[in-house]
Structure 1
Amino acid sequence: MLGLKQVHHIAIIASDYPTSKHFYCDVLGFTLQAEAYREERDSWKGDLALNGQYVIELFSFPFPPARPSRPEACGLRHLAFSVGDIDSAIAHLEKHGVKCEPVRIDPFTDKRFTFFNDPDGLPLELYQQ
């Protein structure tokens, strides 16, 4: 058996590091645990935590190519975050200028969810628990 225990982190490459750091930390509520500039790569790396748990490695690289995400491109489809109250979460995002899709109902769980995008168009989901 391989022995996987959990997802360690998710790596995201941002086209504008300060904008994405603001979005993930100040809008979504992640905390910056560590940050480093790697001169040899002209790249920033930030380690972001959610509720004290390391979750996202946020990178910048000069001139990263765009990644297709819609319609249903092969690869990572989206990142989903659970919330207790989807309506208040949507109101918070919209207060910060983040547009959310209309709320849908998961036909298997009857739970409510919506999608929105990070500053680079990465699809993100809110899923009410």
Structure 2
Amino acid sequence: MSIVSGVHHVALIVSDIERAKSFYLDVLGLRLLAENYREDRDSWKVDVELPDGRQLELFTFSSSPERPSYPEAQGLRHLAFQCDDIDSAVQHLKKNKIECEPIRIDPYTLARFTFFSDPDGLPLELYDLSNR
């Protein structure tokens, strides 16, 4: 028996909250749930909803170090988003001046996928399950 029933949220530390909101809300099309400035920590916490109800939490901290490597640092390697049409998703990202790696095929699942980055260089993946 698992004590875990699913993933509720993934927390990301960003360098610029307005730039991150623009990317996750305007470019990726996610929905803003709440944004709170935490004066005691000089930190923003912004809650964003994915289409399936799961959430991303975007945080700022004034003394956060930059990501040490791409993407093989210990910790979160990348965040993968499921999509239904990877070709149109990549075109949308390119229209928004976001570089994507060439689309590849996962040799184990045969799903098509690609990688791109958020404004702070966090590796993000689009994973298309429509052809499985």
Provide the TM-score with structure 2 as the length reference.
Answer: 0.92
Counting aligned pairs with the same residue, the percent is 60
Residue 17 of structure 2: aligned partner: 17
Q: CA contact under 8 A between 1:47 and 1:54: conserved in structure 2?
A: no
Give the residue type in structure 2 aligned to 1:117: S
TM-superposed deviation, 1:2:
4.8
Q: For 1:34-45, list aligned pairs within 5 A.
A: 34-45=34-45
Check the 8 A contact 1:69/1:77 in 2, yes or no: no
Equivalent pairs, count: 129
What secondary structure sits across from 2:37 in the alignment? strand
Matched with 2:93 is 93
- 2:60 alignment counterpart: 60
RMSD: 1.3
Q: TM-score, normalised by structure 1?
A: 0.94
Distance 1:49 1:104 in 2: 27
**Deviation sequence 1:99-125 (CA, Å, 0-9, x none):** 000111100111110000000000000
Q: Which amino acid aligns with 2:81?
A: F
Which runs of no fewer than 5 residues in structure 1 stay unpaired? none
Does structure 2 conserve the Cα–Cα contact (< 8 Å) formed by 1:31 and 1:48? yes
**Amino acid in structure 2 at the alignment position of 1:109:** T
**CA offsets, 1:71-115, max 9 Å, x none?**
522221100011111010000001011100011110011111000
What residue is the counterpart of 2:5 in the other structure?
Answer: 5
Q: Supply the AA of the counterpart residue of 1:74.
A: Q
1:115–1:126 contact (8 Å) kept in structure 2:
yes
5+ unaligned residues in a row in structure 2: which ranges? none
CA–CA separation in structure 1 for the residues paired with 2:66 and 2:54: 26
